[in-house]
Amino acid sequence: MKRIANIGILIILLWQTLSAWGQNQDSQMIRARYLLTINDLDSAKELMDKLSPTSVDQSLYNFTYGMVLLGLGDLNRAEPYLLRVNGDLAVKAYYQLARSYAKLNNAEKSTEYLARHLASKNHYREVFVKTDQAFALIDESRPWIRLWQQEWYSDIENLIREGEYQLSGNHWEAANEVVGKILALEPASPDAHFLHARIELSLEKHREANRNLDQAIQNAGNRLDLLEEILTFCLNQEDYKRVIVLADQLLKLDPTNPDYLFTRALGRIADGNESLVAREMQEISDIGIAPSELYYQAAIRTASSTPERAEQYLNQAISQCQKLDDRYYYLRGLVRKSMNQFEQALEDMAMSLDINPKQPDLYFERGDIRLLLGDKQGACYDWRRALSLGHKQAPDRLYKHCK
C-alpha cells in the first residue's frame, strides 16, 4: 500500500511538473507572438528557436515562425513553414503568402495563393482584399483580373456586403431589408444579428440592439473573425463588460493570443475592478511583458474612439516605462493631433525622434501638423525626410505643397 501511495505521489508530482512546463511553453509562445506584433522580429526569432515545436500547438508554431521569417524578409524559408499549418491558420497563411508575392510583383504566385485563400471557408471579405495596398503592384495584371472573374463569395456574403454599405450610408430601412433577406436564407445568421444590432443602435433602440448583439455572440460559435469584429465594435462603444466576455471566449479558442490578453486587461481596467486588474497585470508581467506595455496596448485600442482615454493610458505607460520608448511618444503625438493639440503633438514627436530618428510615418504625420500650423517649410522638410526613409505617400505631399 505504501509503495502504491508513493507511486501516486510521484505521478502527481510528475503531472504538476509537466503542467508547469506546458504552461511555461505557452507563456513563451504568448511572448513570441507579442514580439511579432510589435515588430521585434530578431527577439521573436530567438525565442522561437528555443521553443520545441512538439511542446506547443505545431500548426501555431509553424505559422508564427513563418510570419517572423516573412517579417525578416526571408520568404524562401517562411513559405515551407506557412504551408505546414492547417485550419483557420492555413487560410491566414495563404493570404500572407499572396501579399508577400504581390509585393515582389509576382502576380502568378500571388494569385495562386490568394485563390487558395478565397476557396477556403473563412476567407476575408472582398472589400478587405481589394483595398489591401499589398496588391497594388498586381491589381491590373492578367492573373489578378482572371482571379476576380470567378465568384468567390456566397449569396449571404454578398448580402452582408450590401447591408454594410447601406448601414454606412445611414440607409436604415434598406439595411433592415437586407437583414431580412439574410435571415430568410440562414435564420440563425450571427452576421445578420450583428448587422441588425448596429442598425438598432444607430436608431437608439438600445434594448433591441443588445438583444441582437447577444444573439450574434451566441451564434458566432468558434468564428474568430466575427468574434474579433464584435469585440472591436464593443471596444468602440465602451461596452467593457462584453469586451471581457468576448476576450474570454476568444482566449478559449486561441489561448496564446497576446491581443486577447491585452484586450481583456483593458476591459478589467475600464470596468474598475482593482483586484482583477492586479491579477491581469501579474499574469502579463509573468510572461515578461512590462505593465507599461499594457497601457500602451490599451491606448492603441481606444485611440480612434476615445482619444482622451487613450492619452491617459499613454501618460501611465510613459510614467511606468523603465526605458524610453519611441512608440509611446509617437502614439501620444498622434492622439494629441486628433484632439487638435498640435503644439503638444509636436513635442511628443520630437521626443520620439530623439529616441529613434528612423521613423518615416512620424515624419509624414509631423509634416501634416506643421502645414496645419502654417509652417510650410518645416512640413516640406519632414516629407522629404519621410521620402528618404521610404514613405510611399510622401511624394504626393511634396508634389502638392512643395514645388
The tens-digit pLDDT sequence of the chain (403 residues) is: 444 444 343 333 333 333 333 346 788 899 999 999 888 999 999 999 988 888 788 999 999 999 999 999 999 999 999 999 998 899 999 999 999 999 999 999 999 999 999 999 889 999 999 999 999 999 999 999 999 999 999 999 999 999 999 999 999 999 999 999 999 999 999 999 999 999 999 999 999 999 999 999 999 999 999 999 999 999 889 899 999 999 999 999 999 999 998 899 888 888 777 777 788 778 888 887 888 888 898 899 889 888 999 999 999 999 988 889 999 999 999 999 999 999 999 999 999 999 999 999 999 999 999 999 999 999 999 999 999 999 989 999 999 999 7
The cell for 330 is 509617437
Which residues, including other chains, have CB under 8 Å from residue 277's CB and lie 6 or more apart?
265, 268, 269
How far, in Å, CA of 367 to CA of 192, rounded? Answer: 43
Q: Decide if 113 contacts 101 (C-beta within 8 A).
A: yes
Alpha helices in 155-254 (DSSP H): 155-168, 172-185, 190-202, 206-220, 224-236, 240-253
Q: Decide if 242 contacts 227 (C-beta within 8 A).
A: no
pTM to 2 decimal places: 0.80
How far, in Å, CA of 343 to CA of 363, rounded? Answer: 15
Q: Closest Cα to residue 157, out of 213, 226, 235, 89?
A: 226
Domains in the chain: boundaries: 26-147
Looking at residue 179, its pLDDT comes to 95
Which residues, including other chains, have CB under 8 Å from residue 389's CB and lie 6 or more apart?
358, 359, 360, 363
Looking at residue 14, its pLDDT comes to 32
| Gyration radius of the chain over CA positions | 24
Long-range contacts of 336-342 (CB under 8 A, 24+ apart): 336/311, 337/365, 337/368, 337/369, 338/303, 338/304, 338/307, 339/307, 339/308, 339/311, 342/369, 342/372, 342/373
Give the orientation angle of helix 274-286 with respect to helix 258-271, to 10 degrees. Answer: 160
Q: Decide if 359 contacts 391 (C-beta within 8 A).
A: no
Q: What share of the chain is helix, strand, coil (3-state, %, to 5)?
A: 75, 0, 25
Looking at residue 107, its pLDDT comes to 97
Looking at residue 321, its pLDDT comes to 87
Looking at residue 301, its pLDDT comes to 84
The cell for 307 is 482619444
Looking at residue 262, its pLDDT comes to 87
Q: Decide if 59 contacts 85 (C-beta within 8 A).
A: yes
How far, in Å, CA of 56 to CA of 256, rounded? Answer: 10
Alpha carbons within 13 angstroms on the beta-carbon side of residue 264 total 22
Helix (H) or strand (E) holding 249: helix 240-253
Looking at residue 128, its pLDDT comes to 92
CA angle 64, 218, 263 (to 5 degrees): 45
Looking at residue 5, its pLDDT comes to 42
Which residues, including other chains, have CB under 8 Å from residue 178's CB and lie 6 or more apart?
159, 160, 162, 163, 166, 195
The cell for 218 is 451566441
Looking at residue 123, its pLDDT comes to 94
Looking at residue 283, its pLDDT comes to 80
Question: How far is C-alpha 116 from the geometric centre of its chain's CA atoms?
Answer: 22
Which CATH fold topology does 26-147 show? 1.25.40
DSSP 127: H
Q: Decide if 336 contacts 345 (C-beta within 8 A).
A: yes
How far, in Å, CA of 88 to CA of 73, rounded? Answer: 24
SS3 150: coil
